[in-house]
Amino acid sequence: MNERRILLIIGGGIAAYKSLELIRELARRGVKTSAILTKAGAEFITPLSVSSLTGEKCFTDLFDLTDEAEMGHIELSRSAGLVVAAPATADLMAKAANGLANDLASTALLATDKPVMMAPAMNVKMWEHAATQRNLETLKGDGAMIVGPEKGDMACGEYGEGRMAEPADIADEIEAFFLKDAAGPLSHRRVLVTAGPTVEPIDPVRFIANRSSGKQGYAIAAALRNLGADVTLVTGPTNEKPPAGINVVRVQTAREMMSASEAALPFDCAVCCAAVADYRPEIETPHKIKKERGGLTDIPLTENPDILKTLSKMTEGRPRLVIGFAAETDDVLGHAEAKRNRKGCDWIVANDVSPGEHCAMGGERNTVILITEDGDEEWPEMSKGEVARKLADRIAGALKGPALVKAAE
């Protein structure tokens, strides 16, 4: 299908209000939505609110003669590339798992010949019940994709697993589904992205690290995936949720990140966005160092492997494009240009991480300078997602032609 379209089935539950934001989020990503609102779902949101966001009629009744004449529940169930149930209540999951079809939603699930994705939402005890877990395994066995649920506070006052996944996370999974067979400009290109900080242990309770949140690297990984790239994300410890549809390798130390990056070879492009610790303690002690003994005032350090330089100066199998990042607090351009020459990478993305209200490190926005052999290009302040998309577009353009850089001598 050229058109990216889903059929959204909205079950009954307080999480139904999230389906409205899901429709908005999908529209922002160019995915169109047709919708079925169950009778129980209509107790929480209205057909009018759904149709006003989809721009189409919201279907509700299996036995509506007009709907059957104009569309028909069979055609409705097969008119989109993916059927998504969100929220997928315990009742809706039970009907789908056992082949029941006594309303429009369950009939559409049984009649469809398209893949099905479900975002469960229910009380924690309902989710943990043996019957629900049996139905879940049946649905998975039948090929249904499951997103969530998450842990959190329930509308009923309880806490636990059962909250519907956030709309943006569901949209990520939907987008990844449509992208897996899409012919984007980076299709058949393998890309490495490093992100986040590295953590260098001193003793069992202390470590050397930095303030990197991983937000920019994760956004870059998602943007490259959206252009069809086969992305491997090697990430230090962060609170960010990895984008769907990419290979994620979690590491702690710089040495682990170096090993994981080399293990991912070969790839067409490497984007080294991680804030890798320059040094680590020579010895990691197995016991807590007591400050009373003065052990914390003299910790010998040794240099960590230089991932960017290693990839840039490979004599065999060098990526066609190697991109580094330079986080600076003063003379941003000068230090970044010197880093590019010193490391031997093709591009450097420089940004000012001086402390302040809008500090890029850990924040949501960034102001960068793209430095290449052709010169320097200052980009205006924008969200990290926008920076990622713009950089991904530049990467796609650069990888169109012949090899950009010969293997380093």
- Higher pLDDT: 216 or 66? It is 216
Q: Are residues 160 and 240 in the same domain?
A: no
Residue 286 lies inside a defined structural domain of this protein? yes
Residue 263 lies in a domain: yes
User: From the CB of residue 17, how many other CB atoms can be counted at a distance below 10 Å?
Assistant: 14
Cα Rg of the chain, angstroms: 25
**What is the DSSP pairing of strand 145-146 with strand 116-120?**
parallel
Same domain, 342 and 383: yes
* Residue 277 CB contacts under 8 Å (≥ 6 apart), including other chains: 197, 198, 199, 200, 208, 209, 210, 253, 254, 304
Q: What is the mean pLDDT of residues 42-57?
A: 94
pLDDT, mean of residues 104-125: 94
Distance, in Å, from the CA atom of 225 to the CA atom of 231, rounded to the nearest integer, reads 6
Length of the chain, in residues: 409
- Name the pTM for this structure: 0.68
Q: Is cis: bond before 266, omega within 30 of 0?
A: yes
269 noted as active-site residue:
no
Instruction: Convert the pLDDT of each residue in 197-230 to its tens digit.
Output: 999 999 898 998 988 999 999 999 999 988 889 9
Has 125 been labeled as part of a binding site?
no
The annotation status of 313 as a binding-site residue, yes or no, is no
**Residues 202 and 295 grouped into a single domain:** yes
Q: Was 343 annotated as part of a binding site?
A: yes
> Does the annotation place 308 within a ligand binding site?
yes
Which residue, of 178, 208, 242, is where some domain finishes? 178
Final residue of a structural domain among 178, 209, 225 = 178
Provide the CATH number for the domain around residue 38. Answer: 3.40.50.1950
Mean pLDDT value of segment 246-266: 95
339 annotated among ligand-binding-site residues:
yes
What pLDDT sits at residue 181?
58
The answer on 207 and 294 residing in a single domain is yes
Q: Is residue 70 pLDDT above 80, yes or no?
A: no
209 and 346, same structural domain? yes
CATH of the domain at 299: 3.40.50.10300
Q: Which two tokens mark 175?
A: 């987008």
The DSSP letter of residue 275 is B
78 versus 349: the higher-pLDDT residue is 349
Specify the pLDDT at position 403: 40
Domain that includes residue 45, residue range: 5-178
Question: Which one of 160, 178, 196 terminates a domain?
Answer: 178
In this predicted model, what pLDDT tens digit does every residue of 274-293 receive, in sequence order? 999 999 998 888 888 887 66
* DSSP per-residue letters across 109-126: HHH--S-EEEEE---HHH
405 falls within a domain: no
Residue 170 shares a structural domain with residue 250: no
Please report the sign of the dihedral spanned by the C-alpha atoms of residue 133, residue 103, residue 177, residue 363.
negative
Higher-confidence residue of 236 and 408: namely 236
Q: Rounded to an integer, what distance in angstroms lies between the CA atom of residue 218 and that of residue 239?
A: 11
Catalytic residue from among 58, 156, 269, 345? 156
DSSP assignment of 347-401 equals EEEEEE--SSTT-STTSSEE-EEEEETTEEEEPPPEEHHHHHHHHHHHHHHHTSS
